[in-house]
Structure 1
């Protein structure tokens, strides 16, 4: 498995991967526009055939606070450590920047708990976190679980 920063050539594969989970209601959809705008945030996992089988993003939100987002692993490749490796790489990248707290909004709390995240109330996160939520179809009735690692 090869892990690397995402490129323009990866956007369509990332879009398909995320859309499959979004269709099942276990992940928020991301438009192609959003993927292009956040391309520098993302790390991908590429198998030996060159297929993108995993993705995750690190989005800096505020002073020393960043979000782990757009986490998806191909259903045929789950439970092989790909998602954990992506999150670890994103956290390492964030630490280089000086990030001290990482949070996520997820439907898969068990996965993030194994990586040192703990559940918190959404109210514990700064208001800055919610600036993009206004565009979410679930706003203001968000049912994702907030988790943090500090």
Structure 2
């Protein structure tokens, strides 16, 4: 098993995994085009030549990034894969010099265990006017915003 940067041949598997959760309203859907354009944001957790999990770190501003599209195959959940992917994204953010990383989620307790704190969504204008405005749930979003701030 290993965590690695996503490769072009991974995109169709990533697309399928993310959109399985999106169909159930558990995350935003991602188009193939969007995934190809943002491939450098994505990490995959691979085991036995199969992608079991995916997560992206998307830079929004000089001091702000988002962890998005965290998805782990249902049969592979509760094995620490999501935690590993989030930690890898946080490590990458720190190396890049990002000071704050946020997430919008339906499972806030998972991210709180990783050190994230709740945040009012109105404090994230880049996200709101970038992605959220395109969401079918906007402006009635029921996701919880959380933020991780690196200590200097």
TM-score by length of 1: 0.95
SS in 1 for 2:131: helix
Q: Which runs of 5+ in 2 are unaligned?
A: none
TM-score by length of 2: 0.93
Corresponding residue number in structure 1 for 2:136: 137
Shift of 1:122: 0.5
Moved over 3 A (4+): none
Q: Deviations for 1:33-87, whole angstroms, at most 9, x for unmatched residues? A: 1111111000000112x11110000000112110000100010000111111011
Corresponding residue number in structure 1 for 2:105: 106
Q: Which runs of 5+ in 1 are unaligned?
A: none
For residues 136 and 11 of structure 1, what CA distance do their matches in structure 2 show?
22
For residues 35 and 141 of structure 2, what CA distance do their matches in structure 1 show?
21
Corresponding residue number in structure 1 for 2:117: 118
Corresponding residue number in structure 1 for 2:11: 11
Corresponding residue number in structure 2 for 1:97: 96
For residues 35 and 143 of structure 2, what CA distance do their matches in structure 1 show?
20
Shift of 1:109: 0.7
Shift of 1:32: 1.0
For residues 37 and 143 of structure 2, what CA distance do their matches in structure 1 show?
23
For residues 108 and 145 of structure 1, what CA distance do their matches in structure 2 show?
8
